[in-house]
Amino acid sequence: MTLGPELAEQAGLVSLRAEVPEALLASMRSFIERHPNWDQYRLVQAALAGFLVQNGLQNREVTRCYLANLFPGQGSFRSDEVG
């Protein structure tokens, strides 16, 4: 699902454009084909957040983003909950 610019802004989302090597893009596509519950947005969010968390960033919102993408059925990782 793609949000319009107004809804994306309200949700605290920004667009990101990046050039990636063809091998990486092909691997992403292959992964998504084998795992239909993932899409390019979820994969990139999980990868970025995971990289930051694993490299020492201590930010609750980023950690929640990482966990929410890995475990999408767990509502307890949503950033809109107090905890």
Biggest alpha carbon distance in the chain? 41
In the chain, where are the structural domains located? 19-75
| Long-range contacts formed by 25-33: CB under 8 A, 24+ apart | none
Which ranges constitute the DSSP H helices of 4-78? 5-10, 22-34, 40-54, 60-70
- pLDDT tens for residues 29-74? 999 999 998 999 889 989 999 999 999 999 999 999 888 888 887 6
Higher pLDDT, 76 or 17: 17
Confidence of residue 76 (pLDDT cuts 50, 70, 90): low
Please report the pLDDT score of residue 79 as a whole number: 54
State if pTM tops 0.85.
no
User: Is 77 in contact with 68 (CB distance < 8 Å)?
Assistant: yes
